[in-house]
Amino acid sequence: MIASPDFHVRTHRSLVDVAYRLLDSAAILFATLAATRYTDHEYLENLAVVGATTLLVHAVAIEVSGLYRSWRGSRLTLELWCVLVNWLYTAPTVLGIGLLTRFNSEFSYTTKLVWLTLTPLAMISGRIVLRSVLKSLRRRGLNTRSFAICGVNPLAIQLAENVRNSPELGLEFAGFFDDRPESRTGQELEITHAHTGDLHQLVQLARDGEVDMIFITFPMRAEDRIRKVLDLLGDSTASVYIVPDFFVFQMLHARWNQINGLPVVSVFETPISGIDGVLKRGFDLVVASAMLAFLAVPMAIIALLVKWSSPGSVLFRQKRYGLMGEEIGVWKFRSMHCCDNGNVVRQATQNDDRITPIGRVLRKTSLDELPQLLNVLGGSMSLVGPRPHATAHNEEYRQLIDGYMLRHKVKPGITGLAQVNGWRGETETIEKMQRRVEFDHRYIREWSLWMDVKILLKTVLVVLRQENAY
């Protein structure tokens, strides 16, 4: 039996990381002090306790939110959103502790409101300023490092482009290096016009200390080539990184994990778990409850119209696949004379003779979907997610479209990214269903609570335009 290697994936902490922590701590203390001085106009005894408690809870919350991950190359908006999410964890906890211990009883509501608002604003301001300073310094050539890319392929070109678009990284490109003839690499290099050399030249540059960082972009199947390069670069002090070509897989929300110290990376994974899952579920419950309360009377009127217009039940419960492919019952106002729910389900088409007069209006305006708010409250669906298809359609399309069932890595939704991007309604061709699935996969990869909010707002506009609905 071969013993497992004793190694770990470690997170690098730099001076910039320390600067972020000091700035956030200063922002928290400043906001706590300012909220008191400029509202109550006096120094309160429990001020130090509140500041220390906030720092302590913040230190715990960052382990959940990942606020102090490396933000090099990441969009500023993503970083600032993480600051807000982290504060959503911290603030309620601090207020709850203060309520239980009565430490915050002497603080006015105005003081608490200023503290709640000023603290994240101060943290955001500090990060914007620090980013600007770092970008300015690195553009002037300070704190820069040279890097080379070993391997000429699309992944290498993309890496070089990403670094070029991120001047705040402070990386200067030394060129591409590959042992393959130009006839095999020239096509990729035509779009960059970058200098290239062979591996011998790269190793020599590394030994001479002229290259600080080397990124190996060989495909994972080229294990022998990677080992050869690593052996040669072992005689240098350059930092070497392997950039895995994971993009060849259809990855959904990839993340690193460890199994007793052995690093693994997920290929198919849900982004909505842990605290994110709690946030999304809370958002669903609050919004769905509010919508049901607001729409109770209109839904009752719709139910009467459905009952009056044609014989049959008011509601129709169709079998569909939910989270992890489990079968669920999805509620709708009945819009047809028949209720297909077996092994063969015919999609609704334009001028479909099965649709009732009232049903045609309901489907055109998507009002037939309103009972699915009950599914959301019950937990089998979400407000936003891939639209659930009839089980018969799932069994058909899973054999025709690669990765079709991956859309069930999250709960199905009343609306989704595909629907607000023009892929609502009938999918009479495989190509149309494939495009819908592509948007579903994109939603899973890029999910955020803010994305859900934007999709809900766009849904209103889509329904008003009444496109592809019948």
**Hey, which of 22-26, 51-55, 283-287 has the most confident mean pLDDT?**
283-287
Residue identified by tokens 């701590």 is 25
Token representation of residue 427: 């999918």
Q: Is 276 in a helix, a strand, or coil?
A: helix
pLDDT one-digit tens code per residue, 34-57:
877 766 655 556 677 778 888 888
| Residue of 362 and 346 predicted with greater confidence | 362
- pLDDT value, residue 104: 66
What average pLDDT does the structure give for the chain? 79
Q: How far apart are CA 261 and CA 4, in angstroms?
A: 9
pLDDT one-digit tens code per residue, 245-265:
765 555 666 666 656 566 666
Q: How far apart are CA 170 and CA 145, in angstroms?
A: 6
The stretches of 66-106 forming alpha helices (DSSP H) are 76-101
Instruction: Tell me the torsion sign for CA atoms 373, 379, 385, 386.
Output: negative
- pLDDT value, residue 9: 41
- pLDDT value, residue 416: 92
Own/partner contacts of 401-406, CB < 8 Å, gap of 24 or more, are 401/430, 401/433, 401/434, 401/437, 402/250, 403/250, 403/437, 403/441, 404/437, 405/325, 406/250, 406/252, 406/268, 406/441, 406/444
Class for the domain spanning 145-248: alpha beta
Task: Name the residue ranges covered by the structural domains of the chain.
Answer: 15-139, 145-248, 274-465
| Residue of 351 and 275 predicted with greater confidence | 275
Q: Is 376 in a helix, a strand, or coil?
A: helix
Q: Is 308 in a helix, a strand, or coil?
A: helix
Instruction: Tell me the torsion sign for CA atoms 309, 310, 311, 314.
Output: negative
Instruction: Tell me the torsion sign for CA atoms 140, 144, 147, 153.
Output: negative
